[in-house]
Amino acid sequence: MKSGSPALLALAAALAVSGMALAQSQEAGPRHVPAKVLAVPTDVSPEMQEIIARPLNPAWNDQWKTGEEARRYADKQAAAVVKTIPPLLQRMRVKMEASTMDGVRVHVITPDEVPGQNRNRVLVHVHGGCYVLFPGESGTTEAIMMAGLGHFKVIAVDYRMPPEAYFPAALDDAMTVYKAVIKNANPKNVGIFGTSAGGALTLEMVLKAKQDGLPMPGAISSGTPMSDVTKTGDSFYANEKVDNVLVSPNGFCHAATLIYAHGHDLQDPLLSPVYGDMHGFPPTILITGTRDLLLSNTVRVHRKLRELGIDAALNVFEAQSHAQYTSDDRVPETKEAFGEITEFFNAHLGK
């Protein structure tokens, strides 16, 4: 269907008197969307159907007020997540060790087998969790999957979070690690990746590297980035209570971001990177899902990069809510997403 050209507006009047069925809402302006029930889609893998069928995240409306409060939740969650890590390491055939780089806590993840082309390559990982979740080892699952499925050496940054520290501590720690890494590696062989807050931190790191006159990494992967924490972005609303992970623009993730921001301007590109100057960005791959609360804020970053002529590849997965492609390495769509990122890094690192 060709959409409403100027001529179609003229038509609307004609149709209104032609006895054809009229829409409920005839006025221009906000869209009134009736309540609906969305079936579990059948055009994704059975494993992904299970993930999509999950009820709304029970914590979605937690309104944490302090770093301490958020951290209590984070610690409880982390205790459950870390139990899943030993079998994950085994399935992925990687080794992980805790360490520090210039005082910043990291986990170094090394695949049992590193192909020749990846011997000089390193990926820096920044985890998600709305800047307050997934401390310590619990923040490494995505990094482990990337190392295992992509056969890369990965350094996962265990950046400081509230109440230990506030904005810009996460970014500062990530930059410390990036600087340490590019002392020993050609920046063109270094990639940065992360999802959600980690997707935003990935973009923020590149903005900060530009500000500080540091060399650009060879390529980056920004998964469904929290690129705009000012609640701007249409899918915040269109996908409210459609996304079963973040659920609402007014939920726990916004509360968490306010704690991290600690009064800092939310429109600062180092918190809302969609407002940053992206000239000179390296090749960037972006991933989101059609039910993702951050669908808009992923595609807005893509459009901004493309307007500047930057090589930017957008991938949108059917019916997935926020970051569900990172849920479980055994799900076909997870393998597919990490396969895309791997192919992108392989095509662009070292160029």
Q: Which of 202, 189, 191 is nearest to 159 (CA)?
A: 202
Among 319, 338, 345, 346, binds its own copies (CB under 8 A): 319
Closest separation between CB of residue 337 and its own copies, Å?
10
> Distance from CA of residue 82 to its chain's centroid?
21
Does 268 sit near its own copies (CB under 8 A)? Answer: no
The pair phi, psi for residue 113, each rounded to 5°, is -125, 120
Does 249 sit near its own copies (CB under 8 A)? Answer: no
Does 326 sit near its own copies (CB under 8 A)? Answer: yes
Please report, for residues 91, 99, 332, the alpha-carbon distance to residue 87 in angstroms, rounded to integers and kept in the order given.
Answer: 6, 21, 18
The pattern of x and - marking residues 51 through 80 that bind its own copies according to CB under 8 A reads: x-xxxxxxxxxxx------------xx--x
Give the total residue count for the chain.
Answer: 351
Among 2, 113, 116, 183, binds its own copies (CB under 8 A): 2
Does 271 sit near its own copies (CB under 8 A)? Answer: no
Rg value, the chain, Cα: 21
Does 6 sit near its own copies (CB under 8 A)? Answer: yes
Of 179-208, binders to its own copies (CB under 8 A) are 195-197
User: What is the Cα–Cα distance from 236 to 247, expressed in whole angstroms?
Assistant: 9
Closest separation between CB of residue 6 and its own copies, Å?
6
Helix/strand/coil for 110: strand
Helix/strand/coil for 153: strand
The pattern of x and - marking residues 79 through 118 that bind its own copies according to CB under 8 A reads: -xx-xx----------------------------------
Helix/strand/coil for 199: helix
Closest separation between CB of residue 135 and its own copies, Å?
12
Among 160, 215, 237, 264, binds its own copies (CB under 8 A): 237
Does 227 sit near its own copies (CB under 8 A)? Answer: no
Does 232 sit near its own copies (CB under 8 A)? Answer: yes
Closest separation between CB of residue 68 and its own copies, Å?
16
Does 241 sit near its own copies (CB under 8 A)? Answer: yes
Q: Which of 246, 255, 235 is nearest to 58 (CA)?
A: 246
Contact 303, 177 (CB under 8 A): no
Does 46 sit near its own copies (CB under 8 A)? Answer: no
The pair phi, psi for residue 75, each rounded to 5°, is -65, -40
* DSSP code at position 294: T
